[in-house]
Amino acid sequence: MSIFEQWWLPIAELVENRQPLNFFQNLYKEIYMNAIKDDRWLLYLDGLWVTLKVSFFAILAGTLLGTVLAVLRLPSVTDYRYRGNHPLKKLGFGVLRFFCWFAKFYIDLIRGTPLLLQVLIINFGVFGSIRIDKVIIGVIACALNSAAYVAEIVRGGIMSVDPGQTEAGRSLGFSGLATMLWIVLPQAAKSALPSLCNEFIALIKETSILSYIALTELTKAGDYIRSRTYSAFTPYIISGMLYLLLTLILTTLIRKLERRLRASDH
């Protein structure tokens, strides 16, 4: 019998006999029931691991997709400075115009509807009859959602970069895409990083919505334990602290990255 169970015995007796508990006894009861009994702390760790996986891949995919959307929405794409009367150029211009319109539509659609509905629709609608891992569904739903926000953040970052940078890149012979990749985006990233950090933190917290599709992430782990222990909120406090831990680690990492990027302005 572990030390925790030995501490628990006298309190269990009080509970059994319906004796009132003092503050510390009550606190221990909550901790024992919600974290120690039946190794329940493992469930939080499982939930944390799922949240971590979903968040990591959703941030990665969301940032990539968001950046693509941001680039598609740029005015230089709509202007398409180098368009001529050649049929190929005209076709290319039409395709770009369509993508630009689509990107705008997509961003409005995603930002204008609740994530919960998107998750439910993707789970029960889009992937309704496909047997795939819920983690993958979670990543897809969160990445698609995050991409819309990232797109606007990155677009703001790109527009804050001096157009002379693009001209310098193009004049050296870089293609539009290469200029974007090597010259504009690294500079855009620097100014977009604080807002991106905000978005990433929001995304980590919003993965809690995935508990609605029976994905046992951190919030669901708390929900699950609560349904076994009938504690009013203790499992949520434990889950909450783990979310806080995740976001604090992320914030620290991004601050480090910011400092590194700032190495060039002295």
Binding site for other proteins (CB under 8 A): 15, 81-86, 88-89, 124, 127-131, 162, 164-165, 167-175, 178, 182-183, 186-187, 190, 211-214, 216, 220, 223-224, 226-233, 261, 263-266
Min dist. Cβ of residue 192 to other proteins (A): 13
- Residue 22 tokens read as 């003092």
φ, ψ (nearest 5 deg) of residue 226? -60, -35
Scored b (16 or more CB within 10 A) or e, 1-10 reads: eeeeeeebee
- Kindly tell me which of 113 and 227 has the beta carbon lying closer to other proteins: 227
Q: Give me the DSSP letters along 187-216.
A: HHHHHHHHHHHHHHHHHHHHGGGGGGGT--
Min dist. Cβ of residue 21 to other proteins (A): 12
The residue with tokens 């004796």 is 19
- Kindly tell me which of 126 and 247 has the beta carbon lying closer to other proteins: 126
- Kindly tell me which of 136 and 247 has the beta carbon lying closer to other proteins: 136
Min dist. Cβ of residue 107 to other proteins (A): 27
- Kindly tell me which of 99 and 236 has the beta carbon lying closer to other proteins: 236
- Kindly tell me which of 6 and 264 has the beta carbon lying closer to other proteins: 264
Nearest alpha carbon to residue 189 among 246, 266, 251, 262: 262
Min dist. Cβ of residue 243 to other proteins (A): 19
Type of residue at 198: N
First to last CA, the chain: 61
- Kindly tell me which of 2 and 265 has the beta carbon lying closer to other proteins: 265
Min dist. Cβ of residue 6 to other proteins (A): 20
Question: For residue 228, what is the DSSP state?
Answer: H
Which residues fall within 8 angstroms of residue 148, CB to CB, at 6 or more apart?
66, 69, 106, 107, 109, 110, 111
Nearest alpha carbon to residue 212 among 199, 204, 223, 200: 223
170: left (phi over 0), alpha (psi -120 to 50) or beta: alpha
Min dist. Cβ of residue 82 to other proteins (A): 6
Min dist. Cβ of residue 226 to other proteins (A): 6
- Kindly tell me which of 187 and 247 has the beta carbon lying closer to other proteins: 187
